[in-house]
Amino acid sequence: MRILSLIIGSLLLLVACNNDLEQFPSNIASSESLTEYGGVLNAAYYYQLGSVTPMAVMGDFRADNALMIEPPFTEFDSYGPDLTAMEDQFFGPFYTALYKSILSANNVIENSTDATEVGEAKFLRALSYFKLVRVFGDVPLNLSATPSTTDGSILVRQPAADVYNNVIIPDLEDAIAALGVEIVDGRASRYAAQGLLGKVFVQLGEFNRAEPQLAAVIEGAEAVGISLQADFADIFGMGNDLNSEIIFATQVSSSVVDEYGFSEFWSWSGGLDTKSLEPLDLDLVAAFDASPGDLRRAVTIDTATLASPKFPQTGGPDHDWIELRLADVLLLYAETRNENGATAETVLDLLDPIRTRAGLDPLDHTVFNTPELVRQAIQDDRRLALAIEGHRWFDLVRTGTVAAEMDQTIAARYHLFPLPISEVLASFGVITQNDGY
């Protein structure tokens, strides 16, 4: 049974809420009235849905993979202060959904006596805060199921470094200790937590800490049925949800009402939204042109429409959003090995399964023979393997290659996105806005 079938029942626990004036809105029955927390945990999974499309748009449309053509949405490509105009469609729903997921997770962590439930809740809380800090930088931190409605200090943004060190990393470590390696009903598993922790360490540039986490996933994958799909196309589409390559996905279903009330990610990438009728950036097309024979091209690019069929429009409302898949982990592992001083031959060998599946030859070790050349090769493959999956902008920012890859100078303050102005105003300025907005 998939987790979404459980969520339908869990929604009966939810009550109406209004987040206009509350940073952490009440969204579930009070903890005193509950004795079972499975439904509350399902709510924490459910609220991830509201973060999916904003994260997809921020990851690809902010970068050189996709474009918007309709003002003011063109601000995604002009890197100025007017990006705040997209609050209602992107930043507000994203922010609210993740804090709802966090609040539900907090309730489980504080009150459940089931170690697996608590482990899943800590994974979801870590995932939520990881998304928030990558998008906004410093963010308010709530670790309580019943945060004070009178103490404004909880709204003060905490340094992203503290959020990583005090919440994201320890939560994932706890999740690793609590969860089993098998993926059950598409829920978080130990390998999902280890893969995400490795990704967190790569984000922080702590490659020595990232390597063992990513290695553990790769070494244990086969035994629990995690493997690369033989055909790249078989990763995507409604009929391929929860396939062997997926380590963790936010599950989407047309039978479960999504709080996000606008065009969803499959519409954006497919050119069905008027703001992106031909969404693909010609730079992405050129990148595939530079990789002749790449079988991933047909899955990623429809040259005639300049749209992406990666998440097919048929069954769109039932496509899961992939948060972590094995190819992502393999590419991150290759990156960590390179940064940790492994030989070029050793690192490039890690790319062979991904390239072979794409119909490409292994990279020549005699040509890509320095850490710098290997680093670029990994990032080039990462772009083509993960295009239109919400990674590109965040990869450019963390690798410090925004200017080089975007071929323009973009002020560092615009590497982050604006916090919802409604949250700043509702907090009477306790929540501050990012510089430049």
pLDDT of res. 17: 34
Q: What parts of the chain have a pLDDT lower than 70?
A: 1-35
Q: Provide the greatest CA pair distance for the chain.
A: 66
The single-letter DSSP state of residue 318 is G
Residue 101's SS3 state is helix
What is the DSSP code string of 326-344?
HHHHHHHHHHHHHHTT--H
pLDDT of residue 19: 35
- Helical H segments across 139-233, by residue range: 160-163, 169-178, 190-203, 207-221
Tokens of 37: 């927390």
Q: Which CATH architecture has domain 3-400?
A: Alpha Horseshoe (1.25)
Cα 275 to Cα 67, 71, 296, 300, 399, distances in angstroms: 9, 8, 26, 20, 29
Looking at residue 34, its pLDDT comes to: 58
Taking a C-beta distance cutoff of 8 angstroms, is the pair 143, 129 a contact?
no
Tell me the pLDDT tens digit for each residue of 50-74: 999 999 999 999 999 999 999 889 9
Those residues whose C-beta lies under 8 Å from the C-beta of residue 338, and which sit 6 or more positions away, are 344, 347, 371, 374, 375, 378
pLDDT tens digit sequence for 79-130 = 999 999 999 999 999 999 999 999 999 999 999 999 999 999 999 999 999 9
Closest CA to 358 of 296, 417, 304: 296
**Closest to 287 in 3D by CA, of 296, 278, 275, 279:** 296
Is the four-CA dihedral 378, 224, 123, 61 of positive or negative sign?
Answer: positive
Torsional sign, CA 83, 84, 85, 89: positive
Task: Give the list of residues 6+ apart from residue 151 with CB closer than 8 angstroms, or none.
Answer: none
Around Cβ 110, how many Cβ atoms within 10 Å?
15
Nearest to 288 by CA among 153, 387, 213: 387
User: DSSP secondary-structure letter at 232?
Assistant: G
Amino acid at 393: W
